[in-house]
Amino acid sequence: MQPFTILRAPAAPLMRSDIDTDAIIPSREMTQVGKTGLGSRLFANWRYIDVHQKREERAEFVLNQAPYRHAQVLLAGENFGCGSSREGAVWALHDFGIRCIIAPSFGSIFRANCLRNGLLPIILESTTVEKIAQQMEVSNGSASIVIDLIACTVTDADGTNYPFSIPPQQREMLLRGLDSIGLAINRLPEINLFHENLNRQQPWLFAGHLKD
């Protein structure tokens, strides 16, 4: 996975609350048993006119506008990524080029999926997210913000710094581009000991058909 350290980029404002993963990628857009090639399907219902046939770009949708066509940062309202657990939502964002999403809150499964794919979900106060969105709009998308995962700060277009928090293990994963599955596999001896102990305490959990 690509490590995330410091990113300076414009931030595309998509300032609605409760943007669900069905909006991020409709179920029907995930047609392959795989994780790749979903970028063109990101926000399909909002991004295209006549989504089932011609698929022409809808000019007013933010990611179709010149400064944001290759956006790496997204600003959104609260509860971004609520709804379905579909990891396709994160794969589509990633494939489009989004590396970081800033919102007042996130759907919890979506947030976990971001971390597993090298995307940085940042929680800032809604007034701060609104302020950054306004800076982007006033500058017609020419402003940039700086996201610094080493210092855990966001610097807005006016140079104001906002600290954000992220658990150290999750920060480390993103900074080094680590894969959480590989890390957990390294702990298998410890996990197996734990399993045996749990089996002694709650033997009904792993009996009968459920025995190894």
Partner 1 sequence: MILKPRTLIDKLWEAHSVADLGDGVSLLHIDRIFLHERSGAVALRSLKAAGRTVCRPALAFATIDHIVDTETGRGDHTKFSGGSEFIRAMRNGAGDFGITFFDINDARQGITHVVAAEQGIALPGATMVCGDSHTCTLGGLGALAWGVGSSGIEQALATQTVEERRPQSMRIRCDGRLTADVFAKDLVLSLIGQFGASGGAGFAIEFTGSAVRALPIEARMTLCNMAVEFAGFTGIVAPDDQTIQYVQGRPYAPQGALWEQAIKYWHGLASDDDALFDRDLVVNVSSLAPQVTWGTSPQHVVSTDGAVPDPGAAATGLTDPAQRLSMEAALRYMDLTPGTRMGSIPIDAAFIGSCTNARLSDLREAAAVLRGRKVAPGVTALCVPGSTEVKRAAENEGLDRVFKDAGFEWRESGCSLCFFVGGDNFGGARRVISTTNRNFEGRQGPGVRSHLASPATVAASATLGRIGSVRDLNTP
Residues at the contact surface with partner 1, assessed by CB under 8 A = 15-18, 20, 22-23, 26-28, 30-35, 45, 51-52, 77-79, 82-87, 90, 105-109, 112-113, 116-117, 126, 130, 167-170, 180-181, 184-185, 187-188, 190-191, 194-195, 198, 201-212
Q: Shortest approach of partner 1 to residue 185 CB, angstroms? A: 6
Q: Shortest approach of partner 1 to residue 112 CB, angstroms? A: 7
Nearer CB in complex with partner 1: 76/100: 76
Nearer CB in complex with partner 1: 146/180: 180
Q: Shortest approach of partner 1 to residue 19 CB, angstroms? A: 9
Q: Shortest approach of partner 1 to residue 100 CB, angstroms? A: 18
Rg (CA), the chain: 20
Q: Shortest approach of partner 1 to residue 148 CB, angstroms? A: 19
Q: Compute the C-alpha angle 121/124/130, nearest 5°.
A: 110
Nearer CB in complex with partner 1: 6/198: 198
Nearer CB in complex with partner 1: 10/77: 77
Nearer CB in complex with partner 1: 64/117: 117
Structure tokens that stand for 35 in this block = 């994780």
Q: Shortest approach of partner 1 to residue 8 CB, angstroms? A: 25
For the chain, give the DSSP string.
-----EEEE-EEEE--S--BHHHHS-GGG--SSSS-S-GGGTTHHHHEESTTTT-EE-TTSGGGSGGGTT-SEEEE-SSBTBS---THHHHHHHHHT--EEEES-B-HHHHHHHHHTT-EEEE--HHHHHHHHHHHHHTTT---EEEETTTTEEE-TTS-EEE----HHHHHHHHHT--HHHHHHHTHHHHHHHHHHHHHH-GGGG-GGG--
Nearer CB in complex with partner 1: 54/211: 211
